[in-house]
Copies of this chain bind each other. A is one copy, B any other.
Amino acid sequence: MSKDTAAPPPSGSPARRSDATRAAILAAARERFAADGYDRATVRAIAQDARIDPAMVMRYFGSKEGLFAAAVAVDLRLPDVADVPVGSLGRVLVGHFLDLWEDDELRGVLTAMLRVGVTNPAGAARMQEIFRDQVLPIALRAVPDPAQAPARAALVSSQLLGLALTRLVLRFEPAVRLGRGEIVDWLAPTVQRYITATEP
């Protein structure tokens, strides 16, 4: 039906009154998807959180899938590693990953993708996209042998996503307790090794 979902008003268009509603729906959707996963986050509940009618969700985003796509369409803003000393890559990457989930919105997106990516094909596809388009390129610049970049990037992702999983989603208590400094101290050497070690 309406294909206007993914088109943000370009510069110059007046701030429509409905932009606030759109934003409210998106915020509510991210929270619900992050808390409940795709299936249990109902359109009705999201609409209630945003204090509007469920029909508005369909008007603005076409369908529940469209809403999810819009809710997780954010740039991770991964840092450029070109000017990072090779020896500091571990600390920098782990630190940046932790920064991600200190931003309320990005943590919501990350948690939502973790929760949804695990049960919903579209969610899993979106995570593969992010891995391919945003994580792999970084590895390609940092890793000694480019042919090894995919494997090394996958290993790094497994550790970082594993931490997000145990901490944000499964809420293993000792994982939740860990402070930022401890996490960096423990994980940075691991990530560093996955990226730069000449052999396992």
Contact = CB atoms under 8 A, between A and B. Distances in A.
Interface of A: 36-40, 114-115, 117-119, 124, 127-128, 131, 150-151, 153-155, 157-163, 165-167, 169-175, 177-178, 182, 185-187, 189-190, 193-194, 200
A150 B166 CA distance: 13
A155 B165 CA distance: 11
B178 A189 contact: no
29 contacts: A37-B37, A37-B118, A38-B119, A39-B39, A115-B119, A117-B169, A117-B170, A118-B119, A118-B170, A124-B169, A127-B170, A128-B170, A128-B171, A131-B172, A151-B177, A151-B182, A154-B174, A155-B187, A157-B172, A157-B175, A158-B159, A158-B165, A158-B166, A160-B162, A161-B165, A182-B200, A185-B200, A189-B193, A189-B200
A162 to B, nearest CB: 2
The dominant DSSP class at the A interface is helix
A-B interface, 6 closest residue pairs, ranked by CB to CB distance from nearest: A162-B162, A37-B119, A150-B174, A185-B200, A39-B39, A154-B174
Contact of A158 (B36, B151, B171, B175): B175
Given A40-B119, A119-B118, A200-B185, A166 B154 contact: yes
A166 B171 contact: no
Contacts of A187: 155
Given A157-B162, A182-B200, 18 more contacts: A36-B119, A37-B39, A39-B119, A114-B118, A117-B169, A117-B170, A128-B171, A128-B173, A151-B182, A154-B172, A154-B174, A155-B186, A158-B163, A158-B166, A161-B165, A162-B162, A189-B200, A190-B190
